[in-house]
Every structure is written in C-alpha cells, then in structure tokens.
Structure 1
C-alpha cells in the first residue's frame, strides 16, 4: 500500500495551486517516501486544468481528478480520497506552501501513538503569525461568545484568564510545544485512512468552511486524540481565496458559507442541549455577525 496520499482540491487558483505543487514536489524529493498526490479540480474556469494536466505528464505520482462542477471543499476532498490508496491521508489546501516537512516523521508519530486520530503542523500566515484556524477548541457557546466579543484578545496574555476567555483558539497553550487540541485546520489535516473510513470522510452538509471542525468532532467522538505538532511548519497563503477576495460577489458567497457552517455545527451538536429561545438567539447572533462583516 502507498504510505501517504495527499489530497488537494483546486478551484480557479491556477497560479497558487501551481506554486503549491512545485514546492510540494520539491519537498517530497528531499524527504522521499511512497506517496501519491491527488488533485481534484472543482470545475475551474481559469487555466487550472491545462496546468494540472501539464504537470501530471512527468509526475507519475500525481493523479488529477476532474469534476465538471464545484462540489465544495468536503465533497471534493471525499472524491479525492475515493481516488487514493494511501494508508495515511493528508488534506492539504491548494494555497499551502510546504518546503520542509518530513512526512515519515509524522507517520512515525502515528505509529508510536495508537490513540492519535489526527495532527497538524505549525501553520503560519504570510505575516509569520500562526494561522488561528489551525489551533482551535470546539466552538461552544461560551468560547464563541468570548471570542466574538473580543475577550479572547484582551486576556490573551493574562495567566489563567486566557484559559477562561481564550478557549476558542486555545491561547493559553504554548505554541512551541506539542500538545493536544480540539480542531486543526483543513489546510493541513493529517490522519489515517482507517479513521476516515469509520467516520465517512468530510460531512457533505457543509459546502465550504466548518468541515474540519465537524471531522475533528467525529474523530474525537471515536476516542482519538488530535495534536498540534510544531516540529514542522508550513505557509498558508490564506488571503488568495475566500473572505479576503476582492470580488464582492465571491466575498458575499464565501461569507454566507462561513457563517452558515457555524449554524450547521451548532444545530448538529449543541442545539439539543438548549431550549428553543437560546437556539433562536444563537442563530440570530450568527446572522447579525454575518451582516456586520458583509
């Protein structure tokens, strides 16, 4: 069996996807292993498809899967896994730049920790700061409340209070040390195929955003741990897509999916524990936040 399958979903990001693949291939030459890269193109209308076909000509480990429409992040990744054979799976964003990661080391972490369900490396932004989405707690009502009110930011560096008010991004934990987290980012989510088979991959109720939170929840529900592993790091060029797009239509659509995913997760896991009025207020708060951002 192939050691590692790297799954990448591409949608109208020709240049950045090309940069992702060029750097990934160079890294895999530096740290060789039995691998395959599966790129699912979600019906791109730019030059992504010709670019992918050109790269695949002389890269035998690259498999290109074409969809005639945009399946979304979760469904696109599930299609990629269906077309893969690796014992371990890495979900990698098309705007992720990897230059120095030994994947064998990550595989060995799993081999020595049978209760490990998933891990992520240190994911940094272009600013050099950690991508906050890569180091999260589950978005309970309290954690979401303290984060969106700005209390997490206020008490980020205050001992004890950062644990009470900073659970959304687990700001009390040392980013230089290996430790357990609740939610990694879907931009770099390393896991085992047998676990993916048990949970059924990404939940396709989410179109874009929230899939990684749901997957982490399901992995932990099975009794596995998820760890933050900062011995290696990658660059996430997050601004090239989504909420930071300059195109107003794309931003509006992305904003809808982003905040809708919050309601989907809440409805699936927290709504049953609260009365109808609390739930109504939560949904109204999410909608208000979306309108304020938009």
Structure 2
C-alpha cells in the first residue's frame, strides 16, 4: 500500500464531500486507502459517508476528541508506506499523490512533506512553509515585525517569507492541512501528541521528525486549495487563547531552562496583548456606529431646539436644561433600539432597514410620549423634526461611507451576481438548475466550453479565454463542474486569475450543493437547493426574537398555563431553555430521514407535524413537512404552531 489518507471531520459536510471527490480522482494511479474520522458532527456527515463513499474507512467518535487523537486513531489502523494528514476543507490535484510519493521515494532523508497551498480565491497561503517558532521568531510574528519585513531573513522566519514559493526548500514546520509523513519515521518519533487538542500538534510533530534525523520539505510542484474554514475564527479570543497556549505547551516540552521561561513569558505577554487588541477591536466594531448615530441624533436636537424655541415661542431657553441633559438622550435610545431591532446594524448596510428602524423608533417614542406624565411631555413637533434630521443624517453618512469604500458602510445593494458555469452541457445545465432553485440573486451569464462539443447558444467561449470572458462580460463568480474539469485545471485557472476580484465555487458531481470560500476567515459560502429560507440571517433573528418574546409571555402566564400541562417540571424547564437559547419553541420533526440535510436548527419543543394533530407521521410525511418548513419559513407559521400546540409545551 502506497499511501494512507487520514481526514478528520467536524461539521464541514459539504467541504468533506468536495475533498473526497478530489481524493478519489487522485488515487486512480496510486494504491491507497482513505480514513475519515468524525468528531461527533451533527451536520449529517455520517450519512454522507455511508451513502456516497462506502469505500472509505469511517471512524465515528461519540465526542470531539480533538485533532491529534482523531488522527492517531486512523494512523494506528493504516497500512500505507506514507501517511497523509489532510484537512476536509481542501481540494487536491489529480496527480498530487503521485508527485509527492515520487519525491519522497527519491529523497530517503525526507520524513515529512508539505505542498503549495492557495485559498478559495487563488491566493498563496504563507503557512505552506514555516520555520520553527523559537522565542525570537515567535516574538517577531506576534508583534508584527514579520509582516513589516517579510523579505528579511531575521524577521521573516515564521513563514520563511524570504524563500521563493515556487522552489523546493527544506523547511522546519509542515502545515497540518497537508502533512505527508513517512510511516517509518512516525514509528521512530511517535504519533501526534494528544496534549495538543487543536493547533500546535503540526509544529510539535515536525520538530520531532527533525530531531529523529529526518528532513521536512516544502514541495511546490503540486498545489492544493485550502479553504481554511476553521470552526474557530482567527479574530476570536478563543482562538488567541487556544493557539498561544499550544505554543506554551510546545515550549515547555522542547525548550529547557531560561529559553523555555523566556518563551513562556513572551507567549503569555502575547496572549494578553492580542486578547486586549482582539477584545477592543470587537467592542469597537460593535458599538462605534451606534455611538456615532447617537452623537449625530443628539447634535440634531441640539441644533434644532434653539431654532424651534425662537420660532415657536420667541424665547430662547424655553425648555429647561433637563430636556437636553436627560430627555433627548432617551429619545436617542428609542431611535437606536429601533434601528437595532430592524436589523440596521447588520452588515452589509441596508438603507431600508435603517429608515425602517428610525420609523419604529418614532412610533415607539410617540406611544411612550402619550403615556408619560404631562410634565415630561415637551414637544411632538421637536420629536418629528428630530426624526426627520435623524433619517437624513444617518442615511447620508452611510451613503458617504459607501462612496468612500469604507468596509463597515458597504451597502447591501442586493446586486444580482453574474455567474458563469464551466463544464460540459449536461452537467452545466444541472448546476444551473441548482442555482435557479436556490434563493440567491443571480443572473446566468452563460456557459464556458471545455471543448468544441460544448458550443451552443448559451456558450460564451472556451476555458482558454476565461480571463477575457470575465472582463468583457463583467462576471462576478465562476462555478466549476468538478465532474468535467480536473482539480488541476481548476487550480491553474484560480492561480492565473488570482489578481482579479472573482469568486469561485466548485460543484461536486451528483451533489445538490455548490461550495467555495471567498475569505480565509469564513467557513464557506454554500448554495443548497430549496433550503435557504430558514437559514437566512434575518429569519434566524426573527425566530430567536419570537422565542424570547413568547417565552417571556408564557413565563408571565405560567401560573395559569401550568395547570393545563401534564409534566409541569418539563414545562418550566422548557421556558428557561428557550430563553437562554438552548432550545427553540419550534424545530424539525425528529428522526426524519433527511433531517441532517436541512439547515441546522436548535432542538424544538414543537414541530411542523403539530399543525396536523390527527396526521400519522411516517418517515416520508416527516421528511416532507420538515423540508416545507425549512423552504417556506415565515414567522406566522411559528406563531400558528405555538397557538395550536401550546398544551404540548411540556415535552
């Protein structure tokens, strides 16, 4: 057996499907075996493996045991001369395995090998080659010097950025996304250290391979796509803590004396420094636009009030100082909360939602105005004038920010995306149908031919003319049909066009999904047939809002409602589980065959079947009702289900 491929999966089913298709193609001329170790995913990954990839050796864990332990489970069962640790969010070329095995065979001193990696937009990933993170190398990386001086041999050691990315190099650290290992070297130096739950295990194993007398190589003669769809976002506090703590474990294990102490000190300083930066950045990103809004609204009232006093009462300072000090800030809060609940602070910016939020703020403010004591009612006219000012100024400065291309003010223009499909006629039309049955706003620009047999009415040109087609037709997105075009050709096209602002997706054969990733910080953009309605962020927000409001109301009425329930303890528990977000009032019918293929929802207390109390729910009916609920979701359907099923809230 030439090679054993080990893939650890955790809730990235659609990426995994794409990866396994590319692996199958790459094994055509190589004797190999494939292991998938699943760390208790809840997205239907197990069903995907069992249905579509029966030849894969599938190891299913009942808990998330971490990256190192999961890999070790498969390595211990492997029979290959070489072991490849491969991320599920990768796509390999058809000859990748042949090339890397050939290189290892001709370099008996090689214990491990990494390859050239690009992201979902065709951009080279610097972690394809890395140096050992000694205390000073780590210091240069953590405090930004490596980014400032990438070509410096002193400061650029972390990503070895001074080395040519298109030449073979001896390196220190292999990337865990594609880590080819000689099995005999593993037998000598040991498997992955399970002390590392996530991150750091690749550095540790690479270092032990070198200490065992072997070399690690960077091999750019083959390229893979690595979408980098990690479950932990790199800007999060959790990532900072997990990643840098892994570095502390590495230092204590491999460095001794003062060197280890210095490294640990630097790491801890970096943790606090990066955590402070990350927390400050996240807080500022959340609050700075509302703060600017509040200041502008207040400024409007501050300017309008004296003018109104002079015009209406011919008397300056007609209103007491408390009006500007206390009452106007309260007015500001009404408008801010109106915009918040309208979705006006969600990016990209929606002018409609901002305007709607101001209107909601006005209505709420006028209602409150009518209920307060007479002495706190100052002027409806000022409220209306302030509302007009708020509408004009808040919308105007957002438009200005968009015009200056400030990312936080990018407008949600709902512009229709122009998409071109690369593939043979039959498969291209199948992919077109998937796109048409999703709810994305797209315009089919046409098809791109692979050979002369594809030429037809809707074809714009051949793959060799791709750049020209994109420029002339102003294409926003290219979808590659993986059944017709090789991974190598897809990767080549992405590399050739990486300078263009184009998005790419890949449609695996016989799959109802199309997936890609346009940023290394996102887990991927997914187009799935018919099932987008309930997964939209707006619908998720509305569903959560209904859960909170209804749970609060049910809690208030619980002294009465509890007498109509059988399991009173469950009834009370369910109310609080919904309030804290562990459950939703409405979810899918459980144990339906296709439940795992639907967008993820919280466990529900009621389900779509409760709308039809007398209906016997077999598997087929349950699947159909779940799909209809996901596809055609609206808030009123949840309200109807709550009203019909309120006696069953004790489930």
TM-score by length of 2: 0.41
Local SS of the residue matching 1:130 = coil
CA contact (8 A) 1:78 1:202 kept: yes
The equivalent position to 1:86 in structure 2, one of 55, 74, 80, is 80
Partner of 2:22: 23
The equivalent position to 2:92 in structure 1, one of 77, 95, 98, is 98
- In the alignment, does 2:159 pair up with 1:173? no
Partner of 1:41: 38
Partner of 1:265: 250
The equivalent position to 2:60 in structure 1, one of 55, 61, 66, is 66
The equivalent position to 1:136 in structure 2, one of 124, 130, 135, is 130
Q: Deviations over 1:209-253 (max 9, x none)?
A: 0100000000000111111000001000103532259xxxxx554
C-alpha displacement of 1:153 = 1.9
| Distance in 1 between residues matched to 2:237 and 2:51, nearest whole Å | 33
C-alpha displacement of 1:281 = 2.6
Structure with greater contact order relative to length (CA < 8 Å, sep ≥ 6)? 1
Partner of 1:287: 271
| Distance in 1 between residues matched to 2:161 and 2:185, nearest whole Å | 28
Return the index of the structure with the highest Cα Rg.
2
CA contact (8 A) 1:124 1:236 kept: yes
Partner of 1:248: none
| Distance in 2 between residues matched to 1:125 and 1:289, nearest whole Å | 28
Show the 5 A alignment for 1:136-175: 136-157=130-151, 162-175=152-165
For structure 2, the residue ranges without an aligned partner over 5 or more in a row are: 280-651
Describe the shift of the 1:122–1:107 C-alpha distance in structure 2 as closer, same or farther (beyond 3 A): same
Describe the shift of the 1:213–1:12 C-alpha distance in structure 2 as closer, same or farther (beyond 3 A): same
Describe the shift of the 1:281–1:105 C-alpha distance in structure 2 as closer, same or farther (beyond 3 A): closer
The equivalent position to 1:183 in structure 2, one of 173, 177, 180, is 173
| Distance in 1 between residues matched to 2:209 and 2:59, nearest whole Å | 27
| Distance in 2 between residues matched to 1:257 and 1:85, nearest whole Å | 33
C-alpha displacement of 1:4 = 0.6
C-alpha displacement of 1:13 = 1.0
Describe the shift of the 1:273–1:127 C-alpha distance in structure 2 as closer, same or farther (beyond 3 A): farther
CA contact (8 A) 2:248 2:264 kept: no
Aligned residues: 278
CA contact (8 A) 2:120 2:226 kept: yes
Partner of 2:11: 12
- In the alignment, does 2:106 pair up with 1:121? no
Query: Alignment RMSD, CA only?
Result: 1.9
| Distance in 2 between residues matched to 1:38 and 1:275, nearest whole Å | 37
Q: Deviations over 1:235-272 (max 9, x none)?
A: 00103532259xxxxx5544432121111111112252
Local SS of the residue matching 1:111 = helix
The equivalent position to 1:107 in structure 2, one of 101, 112, 123, is 101
Describe the shift of the 1:279–1:255 C-alpha distance in structure 2 as closer, same or farther (beyond 3 A): closer
| Distance in 2 between residues matched to 1:105 and 1:39, nearest whole Å | 23
Describe the shift of the 1:140–1:244 C-alpha distance in structure 2 as closer, same or farther (beyond 3 A): closer
Partner of 1:216: 206
Describe the shift of the 1:254–1:51 C-alpha distance in structure 2 as closer, same or farther (beyond 3 A): farther
Describe the shift of the 1:37–1:142 C-alpha distance in structure 2 as closer, same or farther (beyond 3 A): same
Partner of 2:222: 232
| Distance in 2 between residues matched to 1:283 and 1:163, nearest whole Å | 22
| Distance in 2 between residues matched to 1:123 and 1:280, nearest whole Å | 30
Deviates more, 1:146-155 or 1:208-217: 146-155
Describe the shift of the 1:148–1:254 C-alpha distance in structure 2 as closer, same or farther (beyond 3 A): closer
CA contact (8 A) 2:22 2:94 kept: no
Describe the shift of the 1:85–1:12 C-alpha distance in structure 2 as closer, same or farther (beyond 3 A): same
C-alpha displacement of 1:83 = 2.1
Q: Deviations over 1:58-92 (max 9, x none)?
A: xx3x2111111111001100001112211111000
CA contact (8 A) 2:244 2:267 kept: no
C-alpha displacement of 1:288 = 1.0
Local SS of the residue matching 2:27 = helix
| Distance in 2 between residues matched to 1:11 and 1:260, nearest whole Å | 22
Partner of 2:49: 52
Describe the shift of the 1:290–1:77 C-alpha distance in structure 2 as closer, same or farther (beyond 3 A): farther
Q: Deviations over 1:179-210 (max 9, x none)?
A: 10101101001111111111221011100001
